[in-house]
Chains A and B, each alone.
Chain A
Amino acid sequence: MTSSGGLPRWIYVPAALGAAFVVLPLVAMAARVDWSRFWSLITSDSSTTALELSVKTAAASTALCVVFGVPMAMTLARSHSRVIRWVRPLILLPLVLPPVVGGIALLYAFGRLGLLGRYLDAAGIQIAFSTTAVVLAQTFVSLPFLVIALEGAARTVGADFEVVAATLGARPTAVWWRVTVPLLAPGLASGAVLAFARALGEFGATLTFAGSREGVTRTLPLEIYLQREVDADAAVALSVLLVAVAAVVVIGLGSRRIKVGGAGGWQ
């Protein structure tokens, strides 16, 4: 009872059910769209403002994720220190943390009365409920995605290439830029796409930490939630728009990369 793929045939039943479960809601949403008003709904001032803000903040938080996430992932992948092993679950905690909780945590760290925020406030820097807060909230939730994707890729590549580069006389910084980073490029691409997609959809932490100020902190997911209260058609149209943006990013930049990932990207 095996197919040519070597899998038992009954496996395809739950697989198909699962796939239907993922696709069906998307189809249902697309079916519910009022296509005659679609264009006017998604090009309204509030919609375009929210979309623009979403794309800008998601891009900024993805950049932050790359700048901090790559060194974090490499440290996790290469270090054998006990401290690092203890720190690792803490760093990956936002993966499983409810975003609302993340938002509250951010508020108590960077808010006006927060642990660090009170000093920033004294220095005249206010982060909470600003566009910066949106970027921080998105970075907070998406950084672990990039780190975990990249750490896996780094472990797959292994440290042998760096060892060889060192025996050839390349100093650590040269090895980093000329060997480590290029070898991680496929993993980095998939990690960045995941982080971008996660940032684009961020809702809970953003609402808690940054609020919902039009043009400042009201990103597309927030706009959708708000519109749902007053105009369900607008909410659906914007949802489809969000799906489209995410799909363009994932398919255009990275679906192949996500599939192959890591060192396999070079083979």
Chain B
Amino acid sequence: MSDVELRALVAGRGLDVDLAVAPGEVLAILGPNGAGKSTAMHVVAGLVRPDEGLVRVGDRILTDSSSGVHIATSERRVGLLMQDPLLFPHLSVAANVAFGARSGKRLGRKESREVAAHWLAEVEASDLADRKPRRLSGGQAQRVALARALAADPEVLLLDEPLTGLDVGVAAAMRAVLRRVLVRDGRSSVLVTHDLLDVVTLADRVVVLEAGRVVESGPTATVLATPRSAFGARFAGINLVSGLLGDGPTLVADGHRVWHGSLDADLPPDGSTGVAVVATFHPSSVAVYRDEPHGSPRNTVEVVIAELDGRGPSIRVRAERQFDGSPGLAADITAESATDLRLGPGQRVFFSVKSREVSIHRAR
């Protein structure tokens, strides 16, 4: 496990960032198109040479503009997985993965075949070993590309929107594979994504880039629940409840509070009771009541209002912090209902959300 330090000034692309990834941590980089996310990755991989900057992985200095150090990409042990899997079309799936083992770990023919078989099994693609890449689906190709990147045994894995363009179900399966290989092995990774689910299920920390600058960074839950940047606000206000998986499609928070929802594809329907999960739902799907509602298939929780915030046509009702200290739940209601309910800070109300509006994901 190696930590990563990146300081880069790339004048031509307007990038000026200072990032750090702790050992074994998954750092998500969010930001609008053209914000410099990919450029930052390319500096780490040695594909772009910064005008000024430093790239350090563990105790190895890969780029240092002050001393003129710029290690070649092939010697960096920095893996890169892009949106396009880019499997070598002239090689079979097994040979593609073996290429990673042979090039990255400098293994012989036989050992690299064994390493390839191991990683193909890890990404559940052993049955594809003899196929040519053109006969793979998008999701299969991306799993094989991941196996190839891991077979090279990189110290850092850069993931540049690896799930973009995949079907929802395929992306969920790929996310599950990523979780396993990143989280279990504690491999330091940087993930560029536009997808909230990637962030929620994979990232320890989030950095938001806008116009080449870091405008926000922090633990995933904090950034998502209380974004301070314009782009972060696009992910904003998503309610997150942490807990353990209960019986059936439920999350148990604080040892007793049960949330009903639907399980994400990366959670098997049974046998994983007790694993850490998060429930997510949008504030606009939350209804607010003064008295506890009865007789409907809803999740209801009693909260104390911390603040009211007018944003456009709706009012955001923000509750006080949750029991575990994470940001309070939010509900978006019309100004009319806010007036009818005569809501105000300090008041006790009930937040209620239909179970089909709640999705439960494996937590990071």
Taking a contact as CB atoms under 8 Å apart, the answer to whether A170 and B134 are in contact is no
Complexed CA–CA distance, A171 and B88 (Å): 16
Residue A167 is within 8 A (CB to CB) of chain B in the complex: yes
Query: How many A residues touch B, CB cutoff 8 Å?
Result: 22
* B246 CB contacts on chain A under 8 angstroms: none
Whether a CB of chain B sits under 8 angstroms from the CB of A2 is: no
Interface pair B90/A266, CB less than 8 Å apart: yes
Q: If A163-B47, A266-B134 touch, does A168 touch B90 (CB 8 Å cutoff)?
A: no
Residues of A within 8 A of B134 (CB): 266-267
Complex contact A166–B90 (CB within 8 A)? no
Give chain B residues whose Cβ lies under 8 Å from the Cβ of A163.
47, 73, 80
List A125-176 residues whose CB lies under 8 Å from chain B.
160-161, 163-172, 174-175
Evaluate contact between B90 and A170: CB separation under 8 angstroms.
no
**Contacts of A174-189 to chain B: CB distance below 8 A:** 174-175, 178-179, 182-183, 185
> Judging by beta carbons under 8 Å apart, are B86 and A168 in contact?
no
Q: List the B side residues contacting A170 at CB < 8 Å.
A: 74, 99, 103
- Contact between A172 and B90, CB atoms less than 8 A apart: no
| Given known A-B contacts A163-B47, A168-B79, A178 and B99 have beta carbons under 8 A apart | yes
If A167-B78, A168-B79, A170-B99 touch, does A161 touch B86 (CB 8 Å cutoff)?
A: yes
- Contact (Cβ within 8 A) B47 A168: no
List the B residue with the shortest CB-CB distance to A182: B90
Q: B100 and A168: CB pair below 8 A?
A: yes
The answer to the question of B264 belonging to the interface, with a C-beta cut-off of 8 Å to chain A, is: no
Assuming A170-B74, A171-B74, A267-B134, is B90 touching A165 (CB within 8 A)?
Answer: no
Binary interface encoding of chain A residues 228-267 relative to chain B, with 1 for a CB under 8 A from any of its CBs, else 0: 0000000000000000000000000000000000010011
- A165 with B89: in contact, given A160-B84, A170-B74, A267-B134 (CB under 8 Å)? no
* A175–B75 alpha-carbon span in the complex (Å): 13
B48 CB to closest chain A CB (Å) equals 11
B84 touching A168, Cβ below 8 Å = no
Contact B104 A168 (CB under 8 A): yes
Identify B152's interface contact among A169, A178, A182, A267, CB under 8 A: A169
| Secondary structure of the A contact surface, majority rule | helix
Is the Cβ of A168 less than 8 Å from the Cβ of B89?
no
List of B residues within 8 angstroms of A185 by Cβ = 90
Q: Contacts A183-B89, A183-B90 known; A168 to B99 CB distance under 8 Å? A: yes
- How far apart are B161's CB and chain A's nearest CB, in angstroms? 14
Binary CB contact string for chain B from 44 to 83 against chain A (1 if under 8 A, 0 otherwise): 0101000000000000000000000000111111111010
Cβ–Cβ < 8 Å partners of A178 in chain B: 99
Complex-state Cα separation, A179 to B47, whole angstroms: 18
In the docked arrangement, what's the CA distance between A39 and B134, Å? Answer: 48
Known A-B contacts A166-B73, A167-B80; A179 and B152 likewise in contact (beta carbons under 8 Å)? no
Give the Cβ gap from A8 to chain B, nearest Cβ, in Å. Answer: 35
Check B21 for interface membership: any CB of A closer than 8 A. no
Q: Are B80 and A164 in contact (CB under 8 A)?
A: yes
For the complex, give the distance between the alpha carbons of A174 and B103 in Å: 8
Whether B88 and A179, one on each chain, are in contact in the complex, defined by CB atoms closer than 8 angstroms, is: yes
Contacts of B103 in A (CB 8 A): 165, 168-170, 174
Question: Which 9 A/B pairs are nearest by Cβ-Cβ distance?
Answer: A169-B104, A170-B103, A266-B89, A166-B73, A169-B103, A167-B80, A182-B90, A168-B152, A168-B103
- Can you pick out 5 interface pairs between chain A and chain B where the beta carbons lie within 8 Å of each other? A163-B47, A163-B73, A167-B78, A167-B154, A169-B74
Q: Which residues of B contact A (CB under 8 A)?
A: 45, 47, 72-80, 82, 84, 86, 88-91, 99-100, 103-106, 134, 148-149, 152, 154
Which residues of A are in contact with B by a Cβ distance under 8 Å? 160-161, 163-172, 174-175, 178-179, 182-183, 185, 263, 266-267
Q: Apart from A167-B79, A169-B106, what are 14 other A-B pairs with CB-CB below 8 Å?
A: A164-B86, A165-B103, A166-B72, A166-B74, A167-B78, A167-B80, A167-B149, A168-B149, A169-B100, A169-B105, A169-B152, A171-B72, A175-B74, A266-B134
